[in-house]
Chain A
Amino acid sequence: MISPNANCKPLLSVALVAACFAAAANAVPITFNTALPVSKGEVLFRQQFIVTRAGDNLLGVSRNLTTLQGVSVVGYGPARRTAVFGVLPVVHVDREIGSTNTEATGLADAKLFARYEIIRADRPRRTFRLSPFAGVTVPTGDEGETGDGSLDVFGGLIATLATTDWVFDSQAQYVANREANGFERGDQASFHASLQYRLLPSRHASDTSGFLFGVIEANVSYLDEDRLFDVDDPNSGGVVVSVSPGVQYAAKRWIAEAAVRIPVVADLNGNALEPDYSIITSLRINF
Chain B
Amino acid sequence: MLKVVLISAGIWLAAGAAHAGDVQHDLRVDGMTCPFCVATSEKALRKIDGVKAVSTNLDEGVISVCADESVELTDEQLREMFLDKGFSYKGMTKQDGCTIEA
Contacts and interface: CB of A to CB of B under 8 A. Distances in A.
A128 to B, nearest CB: 9
A39 B57 CA distance: 21
Contacts of A211: 34-35
B31 A127 contact: yes
A27 B33 CA distance: 10
24 contacts: A23-B36, A23-B39, A24-B40, A24-B43, A26-B34, A26-B35, A27-B34, A39-B40, A39-B84, A120-B86, A122-B30, A122-B31, A123-B30, A124-B28, A125-B58, A126-B33, A167-B34, A205-B59, A206-B58, A208-B35, A208-B38, A208-B56, A251-B35, A286-B36
A125 to B, nearest CB: 6
Interface string A170-204: 00000000000000000000000000000000001
B34 A80 contact: no
A162 interface: yes
Provide the main secondary structure of the chain A interface.
Answer: loop
Given A27-B34, A41-B84, A127-B33, 12 more contacts: A23-B39, A24-B43, A122-B88, A124-B28, A124-B61, A125-B61, A127-B30, A167-B34, A208-B34, A209-B35, A250-B36, A286-B40
A204 B39 contact: no
B40 A23 contact: yes
Given A23-B40, A125-B59, A164-B58, A80 B84 contact: yes
Contacts of B28: 124
A23 B43 contact: yes
Contacts of B39: 23-24, 208, 252-253
Interface residues of B, number: 26
Provide the main secondary structure of the chain B interface.
Answer: mixed
A282 to B, nearest CB: 16
Contacts of A3: 47
B40 A120 contact: no
Contacts of A210: 35
Interface of B: 28, 30-40, 43, 47, 56-61, 83-88
Contacts of A120: 31, 86, 88
A37 B40 CA distance: 11
A252 B36 CA distance: 5
